[in-house]
Structure 1
Amino acid sequence: MTLPVNRFKQWLGGSKVPVGTWLMTASPNVAEAIGFAGFDYVMLDMEHVPVDVPQAIAIMQAVAGTPAELVVRLPWNDPVMVKRVLDSGAQTLMFPYIQSVEEARQAVASTRYPGRGFRGVAAVHRASRYGTVKRYLHEADREIGVVLQLETPEAIAALPEIADVEGVDALFIGPGDLSAAMGYIGEIRHPEVQGMIGDALDACRARKMPCGIVGADPELVGDYIAKGFGFVAIGSDMSLMMSRAQEYLAVLHGETATTENSGVY
């Protein structure tokens, strides 16, 4: 058996702009349904959702039967969690709140086996198809994708150096935390926030580094695509469900639907 190709990693830097959504419900059934909805990828959020490794595996299994690719946002830049999630079968990881070159290097090294990093070695696990991918230890590094999330002005300032770290496949701008760090919490569309997002995108494009972002609605995400973001996400399974529910109820009550904190997802 051969190692599965990481389609998401292949898309990065290409002509295709992958469109995804966040998985916030922690439900394998919902994840499977979203995987069939037409998104190119889905983002399993382990940072803000109470999902542990066994639950993550169930969600990975559910999404594996759909056309969508899976990306896992880790709870933190923690080598132990990286090792467990990779052994569980994830191929593309997003590391939240990267602030420096040193943190970026640690993130990459935690995904690579000795010689290029310090990922712990095990032979029989879900990632190696329980040992049936005979050259897994030699080939795994090639198919692992590393996405680093920049979420503060300090991180944006360090972007040129972070982007130059070998093994970083893409950067991702976190608009929610960025707006909060800039003193505009919840104001994703504030001109200063959008200005810094634009500066980050320009810095990435100057280095030919794929850059991603998430938005709450088609208008904002469409604008991000037009500006040149290499991959985007729109909303989440939870926000899509809640907005549709509120829309239906608003129609019945003759009101205008609103969703609190809908600036990101």
Structure 2
Amino acid sequence: MPAPRNPFKHAIARGELQLGCWLGLADPYIAEISAGAGFDWLLVDGEHAPNDLRSTVRQLQVIASRNAHAVVRPPIGETWLIKQYLDAGAQSLLIPMVESAAQARALVDAVTYPPHGVRGVGSALARASDFAAIPDYLTTASDEICLLVQVENRKGLAALDEILAVDGIDGVFIGPSDLAADLGHIGRADAPEVKDAVRDALTRIVSAGKAAGILTLDASFQAECRNIGASFIATDIDVSLFARNMREGAARARDRLSGLGA
């Protein structure tokens, strides 16, 4: 029996649209609700959200019971940390701040078992192998692991073509917020220079035959990125959705009830 099939990996390889939502509230209840909402993938964020390995595992478990696919973003692309997330059952990883082909090759090694890579062999202990219930896990795991690298500054953009030439990279995600800051437009991912850089990067990614991804809450820019060929697009963030609706709910209640009563 081989490793479980990764539908997200195969869908983006075909260029099929995969709609996603960022999960930053670091809670399995929120993850479960989100997994049943209709998104194709959910990003469990360990870079800018208060997630550790255990909280990530709890979210992987509830997402696995629904139709959405979990993508995990570790805080940094260290081999030892990648090993832990893979053994915990993450099949798709988004690695932040990738700036060179050498870094991309090291990430490919980190998700691949020897003799072709350096991933530690501990599948008997791992949730990924269903605790050794998948007999062919070691020989089939690499086929179903999806490695996404995040390019989000000028250095990464300068090395983008070399990164795209690295075998084993399934997709490249452009991070507009950090890119905006590096381009001198911090807090303004909608700046024309930033959008032009994103458009150019997505075009180069798609032309190289790799899957292209983006997170943007701008509906018109989402459509523009899709027209360029981006295949995995995150359109919402749980923190933003919750905070906005909580504030609006409180404001509506205050407007409705202020001045009433004794």
Place the TM-score, normalised by the shorter chain, in its bin: over 0.9
Q: Greater CA radius of gyration, 1 or 2?
A: 2
Q: Following the alignment from structure 2 to structure 1, what is the Cα–Cα distance between the partners of residues 88 and 209?
A: 31
AA partner of residue 16 (structure 2): K
**Mean Cα displacement is larger for which, 82-91 or 214-223?**
214-223
In structure 2, runs of 5+ residues without a counterpart are: 256-262
SS in 1 for 2:43: strand
For the pair 1:240 / 2:244, whether they are aligned, the reply is no
What is residue 185 of structure 1 aligned with on the other side?
186
Q: Following the alignment from structure 1 to structure 2, what is the Cα–Cα distance between the partners of residues 231 and 177?
A: 19
**TM-score, normalised relative to structure 1:** 0.92
SS in 1 for 2:235: strand
Q: Following the alignment from structure 1 to structure 2, what is the Cα–Cα distance between the partners of residues 251 and 50?
A: 30
AA partner of residue 181 (structure 2): A
For the pair 1:204 / 2:225, whether they are aligned, the reply is no
Q: Following the alignment from structure 1 to structure 2, what is the Cα–Cα distance between the partners of residues 96 and 126?
A: 24
Residue 154 of structure 1, CA deviation: 1.4
Note the 1:62-211 alignment, pairs <5 A.
Answer: 62-124=62-124, 125-211=126-212
Q: Following the alignment from structure 2 to structure 1, what is the Cα–Cα distance between the partners of residues 104 and 210?
A: 14
AA partner of residue 175 (structure 2): G
Q: Following the alignment from structure 1 to structure 2, what is the Cα–Cα distance between the partners of residues 252 and 137?
A: 56
Residue 49 of structure 1, CA deviation: 1.3
AA partner of residue 60 (structure 1): L
What is residue 38 of structure 2 aligned with on the other side?
38
Cα pair 2:203 2:228 within 8 Å, conserved: no
Cα pair 1:25 1:238 within 8 Å, conserved: yes
Residue 253 of structure 1, CA deviation: 5.5
1:218 and 1:168, CA in 2 relative to 1: closer, same or farther beyond 3 A?
A: same
SS in 2 for 1:235: strand
SS in 2 for 1:12: helix
1:192-236 Cα shifts (integer Å, max 9, x gaps): 000100110121122111110001243332332233211100121
Identity of aligned residues (%): 36
Give me the CA root mean square deviation: 1.4
**TM-score, normalised relative to structure 2:** 0.93
Q: Following the alignment from structure 1 to structure 2, what is the Cα–Cα distance between the partners of residues 123 and 4?
A: 14
1:247 and 1:225, CA in 2 relative to 1: closer, same or farther beyond 3 A?
A: farther
Q: Following the alignment from structure 1 to structure 2, what is the Cα–Cα distance between the partners of residues 28 and 166?
A: 34
Note the 1:1-20 alignment, pairs <5 A.
Answer: 1-20=1-20
1:15 and 1:149, CA in 2 relative to 1: closer, same or farther beyond 3 A?
A: closer
